Structure 1
Amino acid sequence: MDRLRNLASQKAVVIFSKSSCYICHSIQTLFYELGASPAVHELDHDANGREIDWALRGLGCNPSVPAVFIGGKFIGSAKDVISLHVNGDLKQMLIDAKAIWL
């Protein structure tokens, strides 16, 4: 869990993903289109990927990816990110975290 917290706070936007997950790819694309440059950690390419996967599940992520952190705070999975985007809150969260500028 300490490694997860450390990685999640290294950049304004952090996405834990798996390279074979099309939903993960879609969420990454959304952030790029909004102008953010997230740190993406592909768990299937990380030596500690299983450990991080279990830590994400401990936070309530099921499935464990994609898991999104903004400003070091756990935001949620794809459905949470899409909900925030649809209601207009995601962009403001990115501005507040200094992930994007107007």
Structure 2
Amino acid sequence: MEHCNAHAYGSGKDIFSEGASFQLGAQWRDCWALQRIERLASESAVAMFSISSCYMCHVAKRLLLELGVSPTVYELDHQNGGEEMYKALLRLMGTAQSVPAVFIEGKLVGGLEQLITCHISGSLVPLLKEVGALWL
């Protein structure tokens, strides 16, 4: 998995370190949203958080589907608490774009750029086979 930057929760940066001025309510919502993301991401071999109108999300879904993978897709604009989950993903991803967010075996791979990088480098298909998401 040399070219795939997948990391488990807790091994990345501290998402709360950016702003120590969080109020308790905001911290609770972020914590709740992260726990929900972690739970949903770990329930299937490949999970993707998306927004239904996002073209980059559509491209990521098409890539996975064309490889023969059926990802579990969570459309944040159709989820209760989707806005909080979107904000939590922004912090988790550390980028200006929080979707698509692709998880394999509960580990964050990243967005579309990271997914395509993994595919081009040849590390995506073996990873998908390893977790049982692809049978080739």
Aligned residues: 102
The share of aligned pairs that are identical, in percent, is: 48
Q: Is the 8 A contact 1:43 1:49 kept in 2?
A: yes
Residues 9-46 of structure 1 deviation map (CA, whole Å, 9 limit, x = unaligned): 01000010001001100100110111111000001111
Runs of 4+ in 1 over 6 A off after TM superposition: none
Scaled by the length of structure 1, what TM-score is found? Answer: 0.96
Confirm or deny that 1:84 pairs with 2:118.
yes
2:109 alignment partner, SS class: strand
Cα distance per residue 1:58-87 (max 9 Å; x no partner): 212431100000011000010000000011
- Measured in 2, the distance between the counterparts of 1:17 and 1:6 equals 16
User: Radius of gyration: which is bigger?
Assistant: 2
Aligned counterpart, 1:18? 51
Gaps of 5+ in 2: 1-33
Gaps of 5+ in 1: none
